[in-house]
Structure 1
Amino acid sequence: MKKYKIAVLKGDGIGPEIVSEATKVLSKTAEEFGFDVEYQQALIGGAAIDETGCPLPQETIDICKGADSVLLGAVGGYKWDTLPGAERPEVGLLAIRKALGLYANLRPAVIFEPLKSASPLKEEIIGESLDIMVVRELTGGIYFGERGTNEEDGIISAYDTERYSVPEIERIAKTAFEMARKRNKKLCSVDKANVLDSSRLWRKTVERIAKDYPEVELSHMYVDNCAMQLVRNPSQFDVIVTSNMFGDILSDEASMISGSIGMLASASLNESGSGLYEPIHGSAPDIAGQNSANPLATILSVAMMLRYSLGEPKAAERIEKAVVTALKQARTADIATKETNIKKVTCSEMGDLVTSLI
């Protein structure tokens, strides 16, 4: 029997609640498909600060490096908002990405048929369906560039540097082209090449890599235009590849088109194919401990884990189908409707329902 070792980082806020439901679904799926899962718990974010004084203990890094994949809940919360920037829970998230070499972030923006009416866009704009994959570079750019604060003549200024190397761009471009080749063979590279030198290098490098993928139709778009086009005509996109900061912003915009940020999963991959899987929403400390959070994004993150890191595509598909079926029967508070035949459920009840449908 195949056995997979999964590092579980529940994190802060609603993290422990949603991750518990996701592992429940994963365990049931493993039972159905004839493989075994071993979970190893580790600390990150605020929970790690409270326990060890550090947002990412070395023990957590070691456990993650020894695992086949990592499942993360969320980090951060009001409790730690007054800490200095270098000591905040979010530093742990950036650090684990760097420690594991997680250079590619995959964020699918999908409208599930039962939630089509929840999208803020009109149905005629959405079209028959919406399925966009945002491929975001994750370990370079402005979030990891040189930064600092200066004071001169009593005036304080701060700076953050956007820097990309050719190898970094080549790596993420190849990942995006491979993704596009397996989907609808359309790739849109998003930059700000009319203004930024880093974007001009980005565009030049992507165009060179495109020569190795003649079957993929490549287009370019400035980030401001892309932000507009996502709400004007989202169905024109299949795969979008972009830098760290642009990807952070655009993927959140794309997520709201789909109706609820509580439905969207993500994968962060390294060159070995292992990765970290997490919902893209935050820790929602205002509802933590109330058993009202939506666990479906985390459950769908498990499906992505099975597909991209563990090589279990049929198991992934089973989970995704179970989620669609569950949405026809029940909703958590964030996606509840007035339809009388759909009941409102708690976080754990939604987890139980999806598990029962596996």
Structure 2
Amino acid sequence: MRIALLPGDGIGKDIVKQAVKVLDAVGKKYNCVFEYKEALIGGEAIDKVGTPLPQETIDICKESDAVLLGAVGGPKWDNLAGNLRPEAGLLGIRKALGVYANLRPAIVFPQLKDASTLKEEVLKDGIEIMIVRELTGGLYFGEKKRVQTEEGQKAWDTMVYTEKEIDRISRMSFEIARKRNRKLTLVDKSNVLESSRLWREVFTNIAKDYTDVAVDYMYVDNAAMQLVRNPKQFDVILTENTFGDILSDEAAMLTGSLGMLPSASLGDGKVGLYEPIHGSAPDIAGQNKANPIATIMSVAMMLRYSFNMLDAADDIEKAIVTILDKGYRTLDIMQEGMTAVGTEEMGDLIAGEIK
């Protein structure tokens, strides 16, 4: 199984290295071989070849069975033009691979309830929400322009969606809901935005084919409030690109740490893209301080969605829970009475549990 590794910037190299350790442990246990090929993306690619997404990287990814990405970006490249910023590499590889659905689970681990800012009664019995974010349309990919006027500069970004784009991710979301608790919430702003009204029309029509799934509708401002007020009301949330970017980060913080949560970006093609949802944290890069669990959990999603290795994916998730039960913590999730470990040690512990 061929995996393209895109460590990227900041802590990207630190966390991807630990994910490879875990994959190698899975390979030994299940007598399978993972082949890795590393490529440039983001700021590192800008520094070395002058572009955030070299064609060679696109080719390597398309020739692979899955892609594991670390993180991109950092203040070093903040003053570059938009098309030359590290984030342009991330948007570009998503587009090149045709991955239009970003799956972001927000899971509250019982061992880390105290790390959340929510009251214990809100977290009682745990939280596990799946946010499905449309990934290749909307404001991020619509027309962008800036012009000079008599009153100064004027800029705009266009939120554009087609019926086909909404149809395909809506159907994927219904299928995901069928495998969970059969409840799906569409989050939009249809009281204001015409694009949201199209989302609601297409989604409602598709819902007729999934009568076994309970459907709910919510405006994005209310959804943001309800996520912190009563997150257990949600199971699967479907929303467009910009709303999904914001809500998934909010949902992630319910769990106490961005360092704990993975994501999978899928489409109709054979290559899935897997990455943690946190940033590049350049201030702790190379210091053995980063939490690799989100990246390791992204590997579990890779095994589940790209390689259909369900038992192996379960092994990784159980290994993480076991290590947390034993009291090991990286600094971002450290609690009184627990044992602090670094990036390397956490990777070794989880890989060792799998072996």
Question: 1:141, 1:162 within 8 Å by CA — same for their partners in 2?
Answer: yes
| Residue correspondence of structure 1 range 294-305 to structure 2 within 5 A | 294-305=291-302
Percent of aligned pairs with the same amino acid: 61
Report the counterpart of residue 208 of structure 1 in structure 2.
205
- In 2, the alpha carbon distance for the partners of 1:152 and 1:56 equals 34
- In 1, the alpha carbon distance for the partners of 2:172 and 2:178 equals 10
Report the counterpart of residue 353 of structure 1 in structure 2.
349
Structure 2 residue corresponding to 1:74, chosen from 71, 74, 79: 71
- In 2, the alpha carbon distance for the partners of 1:104 and 1:331 equals 31
Q: Deviations over 1:243-292 (max 9, x none)?
A: 00000000000000011111000000111353100000000001111111
- In 2, the alpha carbon distance for the partners of 1:234 and 1:81 equals 34
Per-residue deviation at 1:302?
Answer: 0.2
Report the counterpart of residue 329 of structure 2 in structure 1.
331
Report the counterpart of residue 268 of structure 1 in structure 2.
265
Task: Give the residue type in structure 2 aligned to 1:336.
Answer: M
Question: 2:62, 2:271 within 8 Å by CA — same for their partners in 1?
Answer: no
Per-residue deviation at 1:95?
Answer: 0.3
- In 1, the alpha carbon distance for the partners of 2:336 and 2:207 equals 48
| Residue correspondence of structure 1 range 215-226 to structure 2 within 5 A | 215-226=212-223
Residue 11 in 1 paired to residue 11 in 2? no
Question: 2:99, 2:269 within 8 Å by CA — same for their partners in 1?
Answer: no
- In 1, the alpha carbon distance for the partners of 2:218 and 2:247 equals 12
- In 1, the alpha carbon distance for the partners of 2:31 and 2:129 equals 31
- Where in structure 1 do 4 or more consecutive aligned residues deviate above 2 Å? none
Per-residue deviation at 1:119?
Answer: 1.0
Consecutive unaligned residues of structure 2, counting only runs of 5 or more, are none
Report the counterpart of residue 177 of structure 2 in structure 1.
180
**What is the total number of aligned residue pairs between the two structures?**
353
Report the counterpart of residue 111 of structure 1 in structure 2.
108
Task: Give the residue type in structure 2 aligned to 1:356.
Answer: G
Q: Deviations over 1:10-31 (max 9, x none)?
A: 1000000000001100110111
More deviation in 121-130 or 261-270? 121-130
For the residue of structure 2 that corresponds to 1:198, the secondary structure is: helix
Report the counterpart of residue 42 of structure 1 in structure 2.
39
- For normalisation by structure 1, the TM-score amounts to 0.97
Over aligned residues, Cα RMSD in angstroms?
0.8
Question: 1:273, 1:308 within 8 Å by CA — same for their partners in 2?
Answer: no
Structure 2 residue corresponding to 1:27, chosen from 24, 27, 34: 24
- In 2, the alpha carbon distance for the partners of 1:168 and 1:34 equals 39
Per-residue deviation at 1:154?
Answer: 4.1
- For normalisation by structure 2, the TM-score amounts to 0.98
Consecutive unaligned residues of structure 1, counting only runs of 5 or more, are none
- In 1, the alpha carbon distance for the partners of 2:42 and 2:180 equals 35
- In 2, the alpha carbon distance for the partners of 1:270 and 1:27 equals 26
- In 1, the alpha carbon distance for the partners of 2:127 and 2:30 equals 29
- In 2, the alpha carbon distance for the partners of 1:272 and 1:75 equals 24
Report the counterpart of residue 90 of structure 2 in structure 1.
93
Report the counterpart of residue 191 of structure 2 in structure 1.
194
Q: Deviations over 1:47-99 (max 9, x none)?
A: 11111111000000000000000000000112212222211111100000000
Per-residue deviation at 1:122?
Answer: 0.7
